[in-house]
């Protein structure tokens, strides 16, 4: 089905509806240490550079995680698999769960920076913060990858059409 939009400025509702048609990998960004930690779900994590290894993610400046990233100058990107849907829902704030309480119900470790890494993440990138560039409601967060951990099970959790969905590799 093709829908044409009127010319002129694009409103937020139209933009969000169109963005839901783009398939994205579900990742949890974590930041902070001990009781001073938070995290959120992002769909917008990409590789910036392989040499040196750098990633970028977009983080809403009104989130509880943004100031924690700024304060601690680190973050981890945890790419989720289908078995992590409950983790995604907690870090999305379902049920009003906030900040450090989002970490309950999953096993976490640390690598180099001290940011929390999901033990069974499909891929985890432990990053020191290079820069935060403000654009619109979000910051483009640029990180230098200090450590990587992978567990390739041939599965991923994706976000498409407004819902989390499993993706499994054909064998």
61 φψ region: left (φ > 0), alpha (ψ -120 to 50), beta (else): alpha
Residues 6+ apart with CB under 8 A from 96: none
**Would you list the domain boundaries of the chain?**
24-168
What pLDDT, on the 0 to 100 scale, is given for residue 68? 97
pLDDT one digit per residue (tens) for the chain, 171 residues = 656 556 789 988 888 888 888 889 999 999 999 999 999 999 989 999 999 999 999 999 999 999 999 999 999 999 999 999 999 999 998 888 888 889 999 999 999 999 999 999 999 999 999 999 999 999 999 999 999 999 998 999 999 998 999 999 886
- What whole-number distance in Å separates Cα of residue 12 and Cα of residue 34? 36
Best CATH choice for the domain 24-168 from the list 3.90.600.10, 3.90.1150.10, 3.90.950.10, 2.30.110.10: 2.30.110.10
The DSSP line for 86-147 is HHHHHHTTGGG--GGGGGTTS-EEE-SSS-EEETT-SEEEEEEEEEEEEETTEEEEEEEEEE
Helix (H), strand (E) at residue 33: strand 27-33
pLDDT, residue 3, reads: 61
Residues 6+ apart with CB under 8 A from 134: 61
pLDDT of residue 19: 81
Residue 102, Ramachandran bin (φ over 0: left; ψ between -120 and 50: alpha; else beta): alpha
> What is the reported pLDDT for 171?
65
């Amino acid at each position: 089905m093709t829908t044409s939009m009127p010319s002129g400025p694009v409103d937020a509702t139209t933009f969000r509806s169109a963005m839901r048609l783009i398939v994205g990998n579900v990742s949890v960004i974590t930041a902070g240490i001990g009781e001073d930690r938070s995290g959120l779900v992002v769909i917008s994590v990409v590789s910036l550079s392989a040499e040196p290894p750098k990633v970028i993610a977009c983080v809403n400046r009104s989130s509880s995680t943004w100031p924690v990233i700024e304060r601690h100058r680190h973050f981890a990107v945890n790419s989720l698999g289908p078995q992590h849907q409950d983790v995604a829902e907690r870090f999305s704030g379902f049920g009003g769960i906030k900040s450090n309480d989002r970490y309950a119900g999953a096993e976490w470790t640390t690598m180099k920076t001290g940011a929390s890494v999901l033990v069974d993440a499909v891929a985890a990138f432990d990053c020191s913060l290079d820069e935060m560039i403000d654009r619109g409601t979000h910051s483009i967060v640029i990180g230098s990858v200090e450590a990587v951990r992978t567990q390739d099970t041939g599965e991923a959790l994706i976000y498409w059409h407004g819902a989390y969905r499993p993706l499994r590799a054909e064998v």
